[in-house]
Chain A
Amino acid sequence: MDHPTTQVLLIEDNPGDADLVRLRLLEGKSPVNVNCVNLLSDGLASLTRETPSVVLLDLNLPDSRGADTFRRVLEHSPNVPVVVLSGQDDESLAIEAVHQGVQDYLIKGNISGGHLERAIRYAVERQALLRSLEITRKQQLEFKDQFLSHVSHELRTPLTCIYQYVSLIQDGLAGPVSPDQSDHLKIVLKSVNQLRAMIHDLLEATRAETGKMRIEPRCISLGELIRQTVAMMQPTADEKKIGLEIGVDQRLPLVHADPDRVLEVLINLVDNAIKFTPPDGSVLVQACVVEADPGSVYISVTDTGRGISPEARVSIFDRLYQDADSVDSNRSGLGLGLFICREIVRLHQGRIWVSSEPGQGSNFTFTLPTYSLAKLLGPVITHHDCLRRAFVLVTVELTPLSTAPPRNWKQTWRQCLEILRRCIFLDKDLVLPPMATGGAAETFFVVASTDLDRSRIMTTRIREALERVPDLQSKCTLTITAAPVDLPADISTRSPEQQIQSVADLVTGMIKTGLDRKQPFTGKTERYSN
C-alpha cells in the first residue's frame, strides 16, 4: 500500500512531551514529517501558511488553555483533522472536543507508536469522509434548487394557457357568457391562482432551504404593511363572515426589514387564521413594542379558531406539515407557509412562535428589528472607538419624469442603490437603508466620513456612475447634494455611545428637515443637478 508522507503539525510546549511524540511517530510504518511549535499563535500562523495532514494538539499552552485551544484551531482551519494529545483524562472535555469537531482525544503517556499512527490515519480518513458528505449535501441542494426552478418554469406554461383562455371567455371575448358560466369560470380562475401560489411557495421554500433566499431590508412602517395585508385579505374574511381587526401602537418605531417578505409573512399568518376560524369568528393583527426588548417590534396575529394541539405545535413550522383535519382549500395548500415564514423571520434575526390551546384560538407572534441609525452608523463613524472628525450627508434623489412611475421603477432605483454602494468606502461611509418616502421619488442618503470639500470627489464619482445606467435620464432627474453635519463643539466630552447617538440624531434631523421642505439642507451646500 502506498504510504505518502504525513505532514504533522505538533502544537506542544513541553519539550519532553514533544520529543516523545516525535519518537512515537518515527516508530510508525509510514513516513512522517513533524513540524513542532510551542505556541498556539505560532500553530495558527503555520496553518495559514500551509495545510498539514493532521494537527496534534496539546490543550494547555502558554497562550491558550483547555477547550479554547481546540476551539480556536477548529475555527481557524475547519477542514484539517485535529487530534488532541492531553495530559488530563477529562471525559467531559473529550466529549465536548469531539462534538465540536476534534477527531480524537488521546491521553499522553498512554499511547504506543502504532496507536498514534493509526489514530492519525483514521482521523484523516474520517475528516475526508465528512468533507465529501458535506460536498454531496451541497450538490444535492443545488440540484434541488435547479430542478425545482426548471419544474416551476414548465408548470407555468400550461397554467398561462388555462388562465388566458378562461379569462378570454369570461371577459366575453368569445361570445356572450351566462351568469352560471361566469360563476364556473370564476371557480376555475380561483384554482389557477392557487396553482400559481403553490408554484411560488415551492420555489420560495426551496430557496430558503438552500440558503438562496435574500432579503432587502429597508426602513419601513409596519402600520402601512398591516393595513395593506388586511385590505388584501378582507374579501376572503368577508366570505367566511370573519372580522378582521387591526391594533397598532400609535408611535410604533420604524422597522429594518424587507417589506415584500414581511407582507408575505403577514398574509400567510392571516390566511391561516381565517382558514382555521369558524364563521362569525375574528382575527386580530397587532404590532407593539415590548419594554423588556426595546430593539424589536412584536407583531402578532390572533384568532378565535379551533386552536392547535401541543403535538402539532412542535412541528407546525416544519416543511410540509399539514393539519390532518384541514377542510377548506387555502392559498396554496402545500403546507409550506409557516416554514417560509420562519425562514423569512430568521433572516431578519427575528423570532417566531405560537401560543395556542385546542378550542381557545391561536396566537402567532414574530419579531423584527427596529431601525436604529446609531446601530448602523457606529462601526462606520468611529475608528478604534474614536469618533471621526467630520461628516457629510450626501443626498441622491431620483425623481421620475412622469407622474405614474413605470412598473420597472423599482428595478431602476434598486440598480442605482447597488451602484451607490459601490461608490463608497465601506469602512468609513454608509449608504442608509432606503426609506419609504411616500412620494414616487426615491431618495438615498449617504453618511460620509469626510468634509464638504473632499465630498466632491464622492459626489462626482456617484454622478458619473449613475449616469451610466441605461435610460436613467429618460426616466428621471438626478439630484445630488451634500451638506456638512454640524457637530456640536462639546461632542468630544460625551461618551462614545452618546457621540454616535448625537451624530445619528443630527443626521436624522437633517433628513427629516430636507424631506419636509423638499429643499436642499441648511448650511453650506453644493448642488449638482442636471
Chain B
Amino acid sequence: MPRPRILVVDDDPDLVRALRLRLQANNYEVTSAGDGDAAIASVTKERPALIILDLGLPNGDGFVVLERLQNSQALSGVPVIVLSARDPKNNEQRALTAGATAFFQKPADNNELINMISFSLSPRSTQSAPSSS
C-alpha cells in the first residue's frame, strides 16, 4: 500500500527538512514547495493526501493558496493543516473559514501534529459532505 503523500509548503528550508525527516519516520512520503505558485503547480501535477501550509510565504501568503485550493473542484477535498508562527488570535478563525482543517502555531508539538495528520487522513474524515437538502 503506497505511503500517503504530504505536501509541505514553507519557505524555511531548515524547517522543511526537519519536517520531512519526522514525517518520513512516520511513514509518509513528502514533497515540498517554497511558495504559493510552486505549491499550486505541485498539487496540480499530483494530488497530495494532505497539505501542511505556512502562512508567511513569499509572493502572496498562505491565504491565497487556501483560496485557490478551495476554488478548485479537484483539490478542495484535500485536508490542509496550517502551521504558522502567526498569532492564532487573528489568523485561526480566518484560516478555518478559508477551508483549513486545523491551525497549529509554531512551534507545534510534534505528537499533536502527527495525531492531527493521522486523524485527517483516516477514512471517516475524508467522507465528502452530503448534498444539502
Contact = CB atoms under 8 A, between A and B. Distances in A.
Nearest to B88: A411
A88 to B, nearest CB: 53
Given A161-B15, A406-B102, A473-B129, A153 B85 contact: yes
B103 interface: yes
B102 A407 contact: yes
A408 B101 contact: yes
Contacts of B125: 402, 406
A165 B116 CA distance: 20
Nearest to A472: B129
The contact size tier of chain B is 35 or more
B32 interface: no
B87 A160 contact: no
Contacts of A163: 107
B107 A411 contact: no
Contacts of B108: 160
A159 B106 CA distance: 8
Contact of A411 (B25, B96, B129, B130): B96
A327 interface: no
Contact of A153 (B87, B112, B128, B132): B87
Contacts of B120: 406
Contacts of B18: 161, 164-165, 168
Nearest to A161: B14
Nearest to A156: B85
B21 interface: yes
B10 to A, nearest CB: 10
B133 interface: yes
A160 B102 CA distance: 18
A160 B129 contact: no
B103 A157 contact: no
A192 B107 contact: yes
Contacts of B22: 164, 168, 171, 173
Given A156-B107, A168-B21, A402-B125, A407 B116 contact: yes
B99 A470 contact: yes
A178 interface: no
A474 interface: yes
A205 B108 CA distance: 22
Nearest to B112: A407
A148 B127 CA distance: 41
Q: Is the interface of A mostly helix, strand, loop or mixed?
A: helix
A404 B119 contact: yes
Contact of A408 (B14, B103, B132): B103
B107 A160 contact: yes
A91 interface: no
Contacts of A385: none
Contacts of B129: 471, 473-474
Interface string A189-223: 00010001000000100010000000000000000
Contacts of B99: 470-471
B127 A474 contact: yes
B13 to A, nearest CB: 10
A286 interface: no
Given A408-B96, A411-B93, A415-B93, A152 B87 contact: yes
Contacts, number: 90
A411 B14 contact: no
Contacts of B124: 401-402
A167 B99 CA distance: 30
A326 interface: no
A192 B108 CA distance: 12
Nearest to A401: B124
A467 interface: yes
A530 interface: yes
B87 A406 contact: no
Given A173-B21, A173-B22, A473 B130 contact: yes
A272 interface: no
A168 B22 CA distance: 7
A159 B102 contact: no
A412 B100 CA distance: 12
A232 to B, nearest CB: 14
Interface string B114-125: 001001100011
B41 to A, nearest CB: 25
Contacts of A207: 89
A149 interface: yes
Contact of A470 (B19, B97, B112): B97
Nearest to A162: B107
Nearest to B79: A406
A530 B133 CA distance: 8
B61 interface: no
B127 A164 contact: no
Contacts of B103: 408, 411
Nearest to B127: A474
A401 B124 CA distance: 9
A157 B130 contact: no
Contact of B110 (A152, A154, A167): A167
B87 A467 contact: no
Contacts of A149: 87
A467 B97 CA distance: 14
B67 interface: no
A128 B103 CA distance: 46
B128 A160 contact: no
B37 interface: no
A159 B96 contact: no
6 contacts: A160-B106, A163-B107, A164-B110, A401-B124, A412-B96, A471-B99
Given A473-B132, A530-B133, 12 more contacts: A153-B86, A156-B107, A157-B85, A164-B22, A171-B25, A173-B25, A192-B107, A203-B87, A406-B101, A411-B93, A415-B96, A473-B129
